[in-house]
């Protein structure tokens, strides 16, 4: 494969998602959930690992493609010597079964189109048994079954362990394909009308985007980011996955390949803030409710991430039959970082629930009880070293950002008691804890010679997460220590005009070989920090350059490699799109936020 990560567009039904390439091939799709085994895994291997390509016969990449305005419906067009053809891809909102709808339409002339469907269940490792039944091609292997049909029926045959179709469309003619998954032990689900599904999807998406309160500069990028965030939401629970993929590399050819199809607590406050500020209170409440269910239990067992429904066991394993994107192996499923201790997540949860309470989201009777339990744990445990926000695998340290977020937890607890007299807690003890944490961070986590906070106590390394210090209220933006930290991070962690998370070459900290690209969320945080410290023109310039990194359909991965000029990391990345929304609201909110 010579594809780049940004060559892909996203379609989805808020329970799973597919990636569609410029060549008209769906190269990644997990069914029935984001975290299920992939039935199309060409993205991480080759054609034999599963894909579904529809394109004019003999054509290579498309001429142009775009989402229909304010939707997740994708139109891809090819101009050929014989004429022009359009393929419209979508995954309609499901009742029970997930469907992939692909509508081929003649725009001009007469064009011969070829479809190749190569199903491989369990991450490209299992070839299903395919048969004909009731006008369908039915593929079955173990628990998985799919049904493929076309309207009208077209010539279809099996060859080289794949299902092929070939037909000709003239101007105004349409052929619709529908691929439906269901458990193999159950009867075939009800058929959908593909054309009705298209019109319904367009209408529903546009109704949803019309609720966006932002109408300032870069509205199209903000709306596309919000649509992407919605698409990465697991609708049955309200959980939001970090990305639709696993193992897209942070360094092409490297080993930093992780599974991001889960829900991270680190994203919680920023996600909630973006949804609330943009006017999506229903989605914010669903995320808050997912958060409360996920963290319920012993505070000592709080995890950094959970499954779509709050599952706790996410064991990490490798798929050796997949060569990896651009040869980046191993391909991993599950995420071993789930076992790490990260004290910052306690601050994220406390901050999120504080934000939800302040925004007027309906309270839950057990919400404050959970917060009190979290504080009880933190009071006894906050001095411990941890693995930190970035899930380093080089051992635990006294990470400064983790301690700042401990301060956030105590501060939000104090604020809750001061503002809500009906809540019960030990106000004086939590104030004392807050002051002690603040004093320790300023004494042990700050380098006075360089005028900057550091990655961990006593280190010389920096951490881009420290850009959040003024945002969370640990210090005011005009504090010289804040300004010094912003400048030091821009100088030491700058990478091609953007920002790396930390120095991956620092001895022993990272615990992994190789490097990574500029981290997009951190680069947006730099824009926020520049604005807060009075350098708004520089902040807006940085935002313009970051917004310019989106691909032709407005999507961002986790990172950007300035040297290769391409996106890297899992894709599309919720964290990057959340940061884009928040930074746009920060920089331009007064010009167009409702």
Distance CA 569, CA 516 (A): 9
| DSSP letter string, 112-180 | EEEEEEE--HHHHTBPPEEEEETTEEEEEETTEEEEEEEES--EEEEETTEEEEEEEEEBT-EEEEEEE
Q: What is the pLDDT of residues 337-360, one digit of tens each?
A: 999 999 999 999 999 999 999 999
Q: Does residue 2 surpass a pLDDT of 80? A: no
Cα-based torsion angle of the residue sequence 149, 155, 157, 162 in order, rounded to the nearest 10 degrees: -60
C-alpha–C-alpha distance, residues 176 and 86, integer Å: 12
- Whether 1 has a pLDDT exceeding 60, the answer reads no
- Retrieve residue 165's tokens: 């179709």
Helix or strand or coil: residue 109?
Answer: strand
- Residues 34-65 have pLDDT tens digits of 999 999 999 999 999 999 999 999 999 999 99
Sequence-ordered list of residues with C-beta below 8 angstroms from that of 593, at least 6 positions apart, any chain: 213, 214, 215, 216, 277, 585
Residue 81 DSSP one-character state: S
The answer for residues whose C-beta is within 8 angstroms of residue 159's C-beta and 6 or more apart is none
Beta bridge partners of 38: 30
Give the strand pairing for 136-141 and 233-234.
unpaired
Residue ranges per domain, the chain? Answer: 5-208, 216-588
Is residue 38 within 8 Å of 32, Cβ to Cβ? no
Alpha helices in 420-499 (DSSP H): 427-444, 469-472, 480-492
Nearby residues of 93 by Cβ (< 8 Å), 6 or more positions away: 13, 14, 200, 201, 204
Model confidence band, residue 228 (pLDDT cutoffs 50, 70, 90)? very high
Q: Identify the CA nearest to 323 among candidates 128, 125, 570.
A: 125
Average pLDDT estimate for 567-577: 98
The residues that bridge with 101 in the sheet, in sequence order, are 90, 178
Query: What's the mean pLDDT in 150-178?
Result: 96
Residues belonging to the chain: 594
Q: Indicate if the pLDDT at residue 234 is higher than 90.
A: yes
Phi-psi region of 391 (alpha: psi -120 to 50; beta: other; left: phi over 0): left
Centre a 10 Å sphere on the Cβ of residue 116 and count the other Cβ atoms it contains: 19
Spatial distance between the Cα atoms of 441 and 458, rounded to a whole number of angstroms: 11
What is the reported pLDDT for 589?
84
pTM over 0.75: yes
Under 8 Å between Cβ of 569 and 561: no
Cα distances (Å, whole numbers) of residue 228 to 45, 420, 586: 25, 36, 20
Helices 268-278/219-231 angle, 10° precision: 120
User: What 3-state class would DSSP assign to 373?
Assistant: helix
CA–CA gap between residue 299 and residue 17 (Å, rounded): 33
The whole-number average pLDDT for the span 202-226 is 97
Round to whole Å and give the CA distance between 572 and 72: 13
Angle among Cα 416, 420, 423 to the nearest 5 degrees reads: 80
**How does residue 591 score in pLDDT terms, banded at 50, 70 and 90?**
low
Confidence at residue 393, expressed as pLDDT on a 0 to 100 scale? 86
Residues contacting 80, CB < 8 A, separation 6+: 56, 59, 109, 111
DSSP secondary structure code for residue 449 in this structure: T
Query: What pLDDT, in 10s, does the model give residues 18-34?
Result: 999 999 999 999 999 99
Instruction: Give dist(CA 95, CA 432) in Å, integer.
Output: 53
- Output the pLDDT for position 50: 98
Residue with tokens 């807060």: 532
| Tokens representing residue 226 in the block | 């919000």
- What is the full DSSP assignment across 211-228? T--B-STTHHHHHHHHHH
| Residue 422, SS3 per DSSP | coil
pLDDT at 135: 85
**Per-residue pLDDT tens over the stretch 141-156:** 999 999 999 999 999 9
- Nearest residue to 111 via CA among 170, 62, 26, 179: 170
User: Cα–Cα distances in Å, from 401 out to 168, 223, 466, 477, 583?
Assistant: 60, 31, 6, 16, 20
Q: CA-based angle 142:145:147, to the nearest 5?
A: 160
CA distance 526 to 464: 8
Q: Tell me: pLDDT of 566 over 50.
A: yes
At residue 593, the pLDDT reads 41
Cβ neighbours of residue 96 closer than 8 Å, sequence gap 6 or more: 182, 189, 190
451 burial via Cβ count (<10 Å: 0-12, 13-18, 19+): middle
Q: Is the pLDDT of residue 594 over 70?
A: no
User: Is beta strand 233-234 parallel, antiparallel or unpaired with respect to 174-183?
Assistant: unpaired
Q: pLDDT > 90: what percent of the chain? A: 93
Take residue 587 and report the two structure tokens written for it: 């920089």
**Right CATH for 5-208 from 3.40.50.2000, 2.70.98.40, 3.40.50.150, 3.40.50.1820:** 2.70.98.40
Report whether 407 contacts 441 (CB < 8 A): yes
Compute how many other C-beta atoms are within 10 angstroms of the C-beta atom of residue 26.
25
Q: Is the peptide bond before 305 cis (omega within 30 degrees of 0)?
A: no
> What average pLDDT score do residues 471-482 get?
98
Asked if 116 and 162 count as a contact pair (C-beta separation under 8 A), the reply is yes
How high does pLDDT run on average in the chain? 96
Closest by alpha carbon to 232, among 590, 571, 513, 510?
571
Domain 216-588 belongs in CATH node 1.50.10.10:
yes
Q: Which pair of tokens denotes residue 313?
A: 């066991």
Residues 546 and 580 sit within 8 Å (Cβ to Cβ) = yes
Closest CA to 116 of 29, 202, 43, 27: 27
């Amino acid at each position: 494969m010579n594809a780049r990560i940004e060559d892909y567009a996203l379609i989805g039904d808020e329970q799973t998602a597919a990636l569609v390439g410029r060549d008209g091939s769906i190269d990644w799709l997990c069914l029935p959930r984001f975290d299920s085994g992939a039935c199309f895994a060409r993205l991480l291997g080759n054609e034999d690992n599963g894909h579904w390509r529809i394109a004019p016969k003999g054509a290579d990449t498309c001429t142009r493609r775009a989402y229909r305005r304010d939707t997740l419906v994708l139109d891809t067009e090819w101009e050929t010597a014989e004429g022009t053809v359009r393929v419209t891809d979508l995954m309609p909102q499901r009742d029970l079964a997930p469907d992939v709808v692909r509508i081929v339409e003649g725009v001009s002339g007469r064009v011969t189109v070829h479809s190749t469907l190569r199903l491989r269940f369990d991450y490209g490792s299992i070839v299903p048994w395919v048969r004909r039944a009731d006008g369908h091609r039915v593929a079955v292997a173990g628990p998985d079954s799919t049904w493929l049909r076309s309207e009208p029926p077209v010539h279809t045959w099996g060859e080289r362990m794949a299902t092929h179709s070939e037909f000709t469309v003239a101007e105004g003619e349409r052929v619709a394909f529908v691929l439906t998954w269901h458990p193999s032990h159950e009867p075939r689900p009800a058929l959908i009308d593909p054309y009705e599904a298209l019109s319904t999807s367009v209408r529903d998406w546009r109704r949803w985007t019309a609720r966006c309160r932002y109408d300032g500069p870069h509205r199209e990028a903000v709306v596309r980011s919000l649509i992407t965030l919605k698409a990465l939401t697991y609708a049955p629970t309200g959980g939001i996955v970090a990305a639709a993929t696993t193992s897209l590399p942070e360094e092409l050819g490297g080993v930093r390949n992780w599974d991001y199809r889960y829900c991270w607590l680190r994203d919680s406050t920023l996600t909630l803030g973006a949804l609330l500020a943009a006017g999506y209170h229903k989605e914010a409440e669903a995320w808050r409710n997912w958060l409360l269910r996920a963290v319920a239990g012993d505070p000592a067992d709080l995890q950094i991430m959970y499954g779509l429904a709050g599952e706790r066991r996410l064991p990490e394993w490798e798929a050796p039959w997949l060569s990896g994107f651009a040869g980046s192996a191993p391909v991993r499923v599950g995420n071993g970082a789930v076992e790490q201790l990260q004290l910052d997540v306690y601050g994220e949860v406390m901050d999120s629930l504080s934000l939800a309470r302040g925004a007027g989201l309906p309270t839950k009777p057990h919400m404050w009880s959970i917060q009190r339990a979290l504080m009880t744990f933190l009071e006894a445990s906050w001095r411990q070293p941890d693995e930190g926000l970035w899930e380093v695998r080089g051992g635990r340290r006294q990470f400064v950002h983790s301690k700042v977020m401990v301060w956030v937890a105590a501060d939000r607890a104090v604020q809750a008691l001061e503002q809500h007299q009906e809540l019960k807690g030990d106000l004086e003890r939590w104030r004392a804890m807050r002051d002690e944490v603040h004093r320790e961070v300023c004494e042990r986590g700050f380098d006075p010679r360089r005028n900057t906070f550091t990655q961990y106590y006593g280190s010389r390394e920096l951490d881009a997460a420290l850009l959040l210090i003024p945002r969370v209220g640990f210090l005011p933006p005009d504090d010289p220590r804040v300004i010094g930290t912003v400048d030091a991070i821009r100088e030491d962690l700058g990478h091609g005009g953007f920002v790396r998370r930390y120095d991956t070459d620092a001895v022993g900290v990272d615990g992994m070989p190789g490097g990574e690209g500029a981290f997009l969320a951190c680069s947006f945080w730099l824009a926020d920090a520049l604005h807060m410290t009075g350098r708004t023109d520089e902040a807006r310039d940085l935002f313009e350059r970051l917004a310019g990194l989106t691909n032709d359909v407005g999507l961002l991965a986790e990172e950007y490699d300035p040297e290769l000029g391409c996106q890297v990391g899992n894709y599309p990345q919720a964290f990057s799109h959340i940061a884009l929304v928040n930074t746009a609201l920060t920089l331009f909110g007064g010009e167009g936020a409702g």
